[in-house]
Structure 1
Amino acid sequence: MVASLIRLKKDLTLNAFNQSAWHILGTIFAGLYGLGIVGMLFVLQVTEGAAESADPETVRIASVLMGTAVFLLWLIFPLFISGSDSAMNPRQFITYGIPRSALILGTALTGLISIGAVLTLVWLIGQVVHWRWDPAAAVTAALTLPLLLITFSLVSQAVTTSISAWLSGRRARDFLAVLALTVMVLVYPIVIGIENAFSSLAEALPTVVDILALTPLGAGAALPADVAAGDWGAFGLRLVILAATVGAAVLIIRAGLVRITERPGAQRSSGARPAQGLGLFDRFPATPWGAVAARASIYWFKDTRYGGTLVILPALVVLAIVMYSQFDHPWVLLALGPFFGFTLGFAISADISYDNSAFALHVTTGVSGVADRLGRLAGLMTFALPATALTALVPAVMFTGPATTAVLVGVSLGMLFSAAGLSCLISARFTYPVPKPGDGPLSQPSGSSGRLMMVQLGTMVASLLLMLPEIVLVAIWLLAELSWLAWVPAVISVIKGLVLCWLGVVLGGRVYERSQPELFQQVTQY
């Protein structure tokens, strides 16, 4: 049975390449990107492991930190794909009567058939090279290689099974995925906080590594260091930690499988109160575009595929504040306004793709192209406009004068309008696979990477090119040092952005009406 599961994963992995050229392109790009990062780490391991220049403490710190990062990636990656239709999800095997022990071992081994497992194997081989200056430590790194690889896979499978068994609700999955991404964004502030607790980061690292080496995150990577130092007590303790991690992962997987296959239980009622009134539909005009705007606003605040953006942006504000406190560069905060404008304007470039089969509502009710484009744009502007204005205005008032404030606010709003207008046109012309309704906000369906990257990259480049007039005007204003001209780039940026919004709605509406059947066919196929 275990062999059958392995063959199944192998066949599914190979057959995925038959879907489209975009999938092949995306997979190759992702593999090369990961290989580039692992390649740099491998070069670091080879350099630090030279016998004539190896520093035991430096090698230990680097080894534990890299091991912790790899462990965390295996731990949080299932959160990103928790909403996707994973073929190896334990729920897919409920009706097959597979023995529990075989299913545990099979899913753990199938986790090793992936690009991530190959990249991890390259890093583990680099660990052996990293410790080559001490033969005993190198042998230890080689012997623990398969143990660490299976530990990573078991921990990853434990997370996947836990989500499937106890956190199968859509809100829980989405919350975990957004939380994981938020934590990743806040890694830098966390590191700065640790550094501030010490006189320098170099002083903090040994203490941090000592703590990580006593946790499942870094225990496995610290084993060669214990052998090199002859600290057999610490070596035994870390083996116990590693064994306990494997045992806990197996127990979690087993308990999750019992919950899934034997005691699924009935879904609890949410206990929500009956809805009263029409909600946001009462807040917008009783027109076709108003109905579309209300529907789009509901998506923004209740569908985490959209709302994930709203959660990440405040985390970026925190990141900018920490960077300013660290380096005392006001530009970090001043850049928030234009960044928010660009990001939020770009956010509706895939609105039709996100509709999926719900796009039939627009097709069957005969919503005009202008009403569809205008409604989606209005739904975005209800929160994007004040958010962009505030993030541009507050730092500008704090650090600059009236002239610079006017330029910054005007350019930020202009960037929002320009990007949103372009998105109104792009989303009616180009679609690509996106997370389906109910999927995690960060999951991507198979075959989406290549086309997604091409469309998004093209949209971003086009949005930046549309901002060239503002950039030129701001440059002239700065070089001429004429403060009374500050209102010129500000007003021109806003007016040009509004014109682009109008063009995006009109032209996007024409494209929408001309290609409506094809759009519906594409999004339902995705």
Structure 2
Amino acid sequence: MVATLIRLKLTLSANSFKRSAWQVVGTLFALLYGVGITGLVVAGMVAGGSPLVGLEPELRQTYSVLLGAGVMLLWLLVPLFLTGGDTVMDPKQLVTYGLPRRTLVVGLLLCGLVSIGSVLTLLWLIGYILYWRAEPAALVVALVSAPVLLLTFSLVSQAAVTAASAWLDGRRFRDLMAILGLGLAMLIWPAITMVQNTAGGLAEAMPTIAGVVSYTPLGAGAALPGDVAAGRWGALALHLLVLAATIAAALLVVRAGLVTLTERPPAPKTRRRSAQQGRLGLFAIFPDRPWGAVAARSLTYWLKDPRYGGSLVVVPGLVILAIFLHLQTGQTVFLYGLGPFLAFTLGYAISADVSYDHTAFSLHVTAGIRGIDDRAGRAVALLTFALPATLLAAMVPSWIAGGPMPMVLTATVSVGMLLTAVGVSSLVSARFTYPVPKPGDSPFKQPQGALGRVMVIQLLSMAAIGLLMVPELVGWIVWTFTGIGWVGAVTATVAVLKGAGLLGAGLLLGARVFDRSQPELFQQVQAHA
């Protein structure tokens, strides 16, 4: 039965490649990127393990523990933050087959090893073994502990997936964890810098951090060869105890989760809400026109659909990052660049709005919505909050950094960037569709067969926005360094007028494409549903 589960995982993975050539391209790109990063780490470990380098035992142990903890975190957090990202072997999918629990545990554990992450981890383990080649006893321990570490990684990852499926399967939890993961990722650099400043230097703080991490499930396994090399037998026993306890706890979590899924599944939660007469929500605010209805519907998605709202988490993250970089470096360029970059991010956010509609796009088709009403309504919905946010992000920092004139110029360039990005996105979303997370899925789930196509469309769209904004950005930079008044005035005027023109052109061209190919567009959306 375990072999059957593994064959099932391999068959499903192979079928995903047959479905779309873009899936093959995206997977190869991800694999090459991962191999490149992992290869650099392995090369560093191989070089660091050479007797010629002569690393001190404490420093060698520090690097081993921190790298092992990083690998463990990836195996743990990726399925937790991106719950639903790989539902091929989700335990909930196998409940109806009545598999013995022990067989299911072993099968899921081994199926977790059939992934790109396992290939990259195997490469890292090769470097982990060669890292200790100068110490024969440590080398033997590394050889023995390497497969144990790989199985531990897979088991911990499976425990996270099973726990999420059994006890934390609410949509709000998935969305919260995904958005929280993105927010934390944006703050990694500031956090590292704060630790470095507090400890007087990151190099000085690393041994202390590694010493603490080694007695946690994250780094206990990777600390074993270093204990043997240094002759710390008491520490070796404690690390073995922590590793064994980690494996036992993960097995208990998987078993308890499977018991919940198979024997005591929670009752489905039902929420009954009835509309109250006269309570139309956002539909009562916008004009009684087709474009107003589209705008109200789109803005409702922005407020309630985490797939849209998840992109808004970058707004406070960008503000914090810009302020932090300014305080660290003293450079005002980070404050000046906040407005245009935020405008670019928000304006590009509707480049896949038709794809995100999923089956609800049939409302636009059956209602006979004209292309101009569809395009204008979606643009208005975005601009209702994107325009104030862009002005605020552009005016306040630039006023603090430079005064009135830099504030005016930065604000106009930012508005031009926003209008240009919305115009390009209005055309792109009417012309190109691709698989996106379905309603109820994690905002950051990447559907199968989408990666390659998504990358090409997004890169070309972003490049188009950047090229269209080159004159304004050049004028802005020239004025910043020269202070020539007429350059600033011309740049500000061109930014707003050209941005408005490109917005209008994007709406008109997008509307024409929408009207001409609405049936085909609906078929594409249905195919991705």
- Decide: shared fold, TM above 0.5: yes
- The answer on whether the counterparts of 2:335 and 2:401 sit within 8 Å (CA) in structure 1 is no
Contact 1:84/1:435 (8 A) holds in 2: no
The whole-number CA distance in structure 2 between the counterparts of 1:85 and 1:200 is 39
Counterpart for residue 429 of structure 1: 431
- Correspondences of 1:24-173 after superposition (within 5 Å): 24-55=24-55, 56-84=57-85, 86-173=87-174
Aligned partner of 1:324 in structure 2 is 326
SS in 2 for 1:144: helix
1:290-439 equivalence runs, <5 A: 290-439=292-441
Tell me if structure 1 keeps the 8 A contact 2:475–2:488. Answer: no
Q: Aligned partners of 1:270, 1:252: CA distance in 2, in Å?
A: 29
1:224 is matched with: 225
The 1:359/1:81 distance shift into structure 2, 3 A limit, reads same
Kindly indicate whether the alpha-carbon contact (under 8 Å) linking 1:470 and 1:493 is maintained by their aligned counterparts in 2.
yes
- Alpha-carbon distance between aligned partners in 2 of 1:275 and 1:9, rounded to the nearest angstrom: 48
Match of 2:19 in 1: 19
Contact (CA 8 Å) 1:369, 1:513: kept in 2 or not? yes
Gap runs ≥5 in structure 1: none
Q: Which amino acid aligns with 1:295?
A: R
Report the alpha carbon displacement of residue 279 of structure 1 after superposing the two structures with TM.
Answer: 0.9
Deviations 1:385-425, CA, capped at 9 Å, x for gaps: 11111111111011112221111111111101101100000
Residue number in structure 1 paired with 2:261: 260
CA deviations 1:221-272 (Å, max 9, x no partner) are: 1111111111111111111111111111111111111111111121334587
1:511 aligned to 510, 513, 517, which one? Answer: 513
Partner of 1:459 in structure 2? 461
Q: Please give the alpha-carbon distance, in whole angstroms, between the structure 2 residues aligned to 1:363 and 1:397.
A: 47
Mapped partners of 1:272, 1:509: distance in 2: 36
Q: Supply the distance in 1 between the matched residues of 2:86 and 2:47 (Cα, whole angstroms).
A: 42
For residues 336-381 of structure 1, the C-alpha deviation after alignment (integer angstroms, 9 at most, x for no partner) is 1111000111110000011111100100000000000001001111
Amino acid at match of 2:418: L
* 1:505 to partner: Cα distance: 0.8
Structure 2 CA distance, aligned partners of 1:162 and 1:312?
Answer: 28
TM-score by length of 1: 0.97
Give the letter for the 2:37 counterpart: I
Does the 8 Å CA contact 2:318/2:342 hold for their aligned counterparts?
no
Contact 1:406/1:486 (CA < 8 Å) preserved in 2? no
Q: How far, CA to CA, are the matches of 1:483 and 1:489 in structure 2?
A: 10
Aligned residues: 526
Question: What's the offset of the Cα at 1:196?
Answer: 2.6
Q: Which runs of 5+ in 2 are unaligned?
A: none
Identity of aligned residues (%): 53
TM-aligned CA deviation for residue 51 of structure 1:
1.1
1:305-347 deviations in Å (ceiling 9; x for gaps): 1111111221222222222222222222221111100011111
Deviations 1:54-112 (A, max 9, x none): 31233222212211111111111113542356120001111110011111111011000
- C-alpha distance in structure 2 between counterparts of 1:70 and 1:273, whole Å: 48
Q: Distance in 2 between matches of 1:49 and 1:275?
A: 70
Looking at structure 2, the residues matched to 490 and 79 of structure 1 have their Cα atoms a distance apart, in angstroms, of 46
Distance of 2:161 and 2:101 partners within structure 1? 16
Q: TM-score, normalised by structure 2?
A: 0.97
CA distance, structure 1, for counterparts of residue 501 and residue 434 of structure 2? 27
1:137, 1:225 within 8 Å by CA — same for their partners in 2?
A: yes
Q: Is the 8 A contact 1:75 1:156 kept in 2?
A: yes
**Counterpart residue identity of residue 35, structure 2:** L
SS of the residue 2:362 aligns to? helix
Distance across 2 between alignment mates of 1:134 and 1:305: 51
Partner of 2:288: 286
Q: Deviations over 1:19-72 (max 9, x none)?
A: 111111011000000000000001101111111213123322221221111111
Deviates more, 1:302-311 or 1:329-338: 329-338
In structure 2, what residue type is equivalent to 1:21?
A: A
Aligned position for 2:494: 492
1:274 Cα deviation (Å)? Answer: 5.9
Give a deviation string over 1:149-197, Cα, whole Å, max 9, x none. Answer: 1111111111111111112121111111111121111111221222232
SS at match of 2:199: coil
Q: How far apart are 1:5 and its partner, in Å?
A: 0.7
Matched-pair contact (CA < 8 Å) for 2:64–2:222: yes
Amino acid at match of 1:54: G
Equivalent-residue separation in structure 1 for 2:266 and 2:436 (angstroms): 31
